[in-house]
Structure 1
């Protein structure tokens, strides 16, 4: 499922294992309704105008806005079983108009439901997906789009899915997704994932170790036996427990062994390299980006500057000299075929970086002398 994007800059990032470890901070609440829509809300009372306070959508929004470091805005994406209205196009054969549903002939594009909404609003301003009401089929459909969507088929966004005693048995079906994290919370009326997403996005992508996002308002720490805790960890569930004076997560990696901050940083790098270079191409044009060695060098400098910004946010690791572990490779002008130059397309630009890590556990051996 390739979701097209209007851009002149295409960044595709492959994840190389093993792993050392827009603002892309907005949360999207997916909720089922009569008609597909996308809307931004900056205050909780605005949500109430569209969703009654007894709805799970309102309660999810309330959990987000109730945190100490809540975001300035949230997005609510409504999905529907009804197919959105088809496009009206001109019919050149009879000079009239004809109703065409382009999606009917595109089998890779969802025709309706949560998959269609995620497809249609894929490049809007949101990063973390949360379902207001759990439905296994809908949750899996959303996870599929986030895993394989985007113009390069490498995904974008990520999903926090909350489970409890009533649906924990579904959890194993989500283990194949690298962009989905499973959370277990026994108090199913509490919106744990919404609160966590709210507090965790209080700082820039890359600066947060999600395991230690702590003291969530309105969320009760679990009281689990050692056996229960081990069983949850074996099933790749993350849960919220009291540790010393503060409550936080037992972990922040999913079944694929990927940490939230790594994927969040990956999306930041991809989106920021694209947007910065697109803006530079648009504003500076041929004066800076001529198809010469000078223009190629400008491409390289633009990407390096963006990667350094990612490094400043804690996304990229540093070496022993304090330099960021990143490398940008742009082809030499003498090695580019004339036909490629004539078509004004630059290929073969590559960059790589080493993701930063965080200390999640500390093991200390002490010795007491009598």
Structure 2
């Protein structure tokens, strides 16, 4: 995330112009590189100057851009796996720049989904652990082995696509097709992916894939589509994506207000200005479909703001205001239906 003086924490309670979050980073393992460089590309032609058509990086990017109007307008690429000097030439002259090193180095860059190219199961697991620790952004994995699925089960920030065909990139296609749409406006289930072959799974097999926290590409009612829209924990992707969107946009909106206003006074009037920034973001979240409506069609959210008299002397002295909080009800989406009918004779 970018530098900010504002921190937003959102807990998901059960049964209870803004920033988009669709840019992918392709992180490729390249042991022959001498350094890791983060670059952004607006087209396959520009990417091809550094990564030829036969490379895993190009194939991931091609699958992203192949999704047509839904695809993001750019992708980022960086590498890991090379050796680098540590400065201690006697005891430990060189060290490998690991997938974790790369994720730590670039985590604050302008991407929200990470795709891995030319990696092994160990790299995938390490990336999954990293994002689980951060509890922000996502890693999207293509996994061909049933046995490997189990090691990701329970992880909120890992999206696992089970697909056995080595020459297809369903993980990249998934991000290209869905991630760049307005957050909250779409569920990740039922989605068509260009360039991905649907698999003919038995019902029990597909259920086991879902129980492991993975999704697949199948045919239902004659339509090729994603079989679910969950992360490896079983949480819905759009729920966590929406949470990230609200968090980032509230932080950005309040940071902008602090940076562009001559002075926001430490008064009830100043606090009201900050509160209005939250309300603006939540209203857009409602419009996008993140926040549910009530029976009258009004957004179900609330914002609480403490007054100056409720702040501690220490906070007033240090100019820290911690009196804002909010909650909202998720809109969700229909993923299954049970319908009862009667036949009258």
TM-score by length of 1: 0.85
Structure 1 residues 103-130: Cα deviation after superposition (integer angstroms, max 9, x where no partner): x9xxxxx983111111121121111111
Matching residue of 2:230 = 253
* Secondary structure of the structure 1 residue equivalent to 2:38: strand
Q: Quick check: 1:212 aligned with 2:190? A: yes
**Does structure 2 conserve the Cα–Cα contact (< 8 Å) formed by 1:328 and 1:352?**
yes
**Does structure 1 conserve the Cα–Cα contact (< 8 Å) formed by 2:23 and 2:180?**
no
Alpha-carbon distance in 1 for matches of 2:96, 2:323: 35
* Secondary structure of the structure 1 residue equivalent to 2:195: coil
**Does structure 1 conserve the Cα–Cα contact (< 8 Å) formed by 2:131 and 2:138?**
yes
Matching residue of 1:238 = 215
Q: Which of 170, 177, 200 is residue 223 of structure 1 equivalent to? A: 200
Q: Quick check: 1:39 aligned with 2:39? A: yes
Cα 1:251–1:353 shift into 2, 3 Å: same
**Does structure 1 conserve the Cα–Cα contact (< 8 Å) formed by 2:7 and 2:251?**
yes
Structure 1 residues 316-365: Cα deviation after superposition (integer angstroms, max 9, x where no partner): 11112222121212211111123321211112321111111111112222
Q: Quick check: 1:139 aligned with 2:116? A: no
Alpha-carbon distance in 2 for matches of 1:302, 1:357: 24
Alpha-carbon distance in 2 for matches of 1:127, 1:200: 13
Matching residue of 1:115 = 100
**Does structure 1 conserve the Cα–Cα contact (< 8 Å) formed by 2:26 and 2:114?**
yes
Q: Which of 325, 328, 341 is residue 316 of structure 2 equivalent to? A: 341
* Secondary structure of the structure 2 residue equivalent to 1:356: coil
Matching residue of 1:52 = 52
* Secondary structure of the structure 1 residue equivalent to 2:261: helix
**Does structure 1 conserve the Cα–Cα contact (< 8 Å) formed by 2:301 and 2:329?**
yes
Alpha-carbon distance in 1 for matches of 2:152, 2:161: 11
CA shift for structure 1 position 174:
0.7
Alpha-carbon distance in 2 for matches of 1:363, 1:240: 23
Cα 1:156–1:285 shift into 2, 3 Å: farther
Q: Quick check: 1:195 aligned with 2:173? A: yes
Query: Where does structure 2 lack aligned partners over 5 or more consecutive residues?
Result: none
**Does structure 1 conserve the Cα–Cα contact (< 8 Å) formed by 2:81 and 2:96?**
no
Cα 1:232–1:338 shift into 2, 3 Å: closer
CA shift for structure 1 position 298:
0.9
Segment of structure 1 superposing worse, 182-191 or 225-234: 225-234
CA shift for structure 1 position 307:
1.1
Q: Quick check: 1:183 aligned with 2:161? A: yes
Q: Which of 10, 13, 33 is residue 13 of structure 1 equivalent to? A: 10
**Does structure 2 conserve the Cα–Cα contact (< 8 Å) formed by 1:37 and 1:79?**
no
Structure 1 residues 130-178: Cα deviation after superposition (integer angstroms, max 9, x where no partner): 11123122112212222222xxxxx2111221111xx331111111311
Alpha-carbon distance in 1 for matches of 2:82, 2:233: 31
Matching residue of 2:137 = 157
Alpha-carbon distance in 1 for matches of 2:195, 2:201: 19
Cα 1:316–1:228 shift into 2, 3 Å: same
- State how many pairs are aligned: 334
Structure 1 residues 2-27: Cα deviation after superposition (integer angstroms, max 9, x where no partner): xx8521111112222346xx311111
Alpha-carbon distance in 1 for matches of 2:284, 2:203: 42
**Does structure 2 conserve the Cα–Cα contact (< 8 Å) formed by 1:340 and 1:346?**
yes
Q: Quick check: 1:24 aligned with 2:21? A: yes
Matching residue of 1:355 = 330
Q: Which of 84, 106, 115 is residue 130 of structure 1 equivalent to? A: 115
* Secondary structure of the structure 2 residue equivalent to 1:199: helix
Q: Quick check: 1:79 aligned with 2:56? A: no
* Secondary structure of the structure 1 residue equivalent to 2:101: helix
CA shift for structure 1 position 228:
2.7
* Secondary structure of the structure 2 residue equivalent to 1:211: coil
CA shift for structure 1 position 211:
0.1
Alpha-carbon distance in 2 for matches of 1:79, 1:333: 49
Query: Where does structure 1 lack aligned partners over 5 or more consecutive residues?
Result: 87-98, 105-109, 150-154
**Does structure 1 conserve the Cα–Cα contact (< 8 Å) formed by 2:300 and 2:329?**
yes
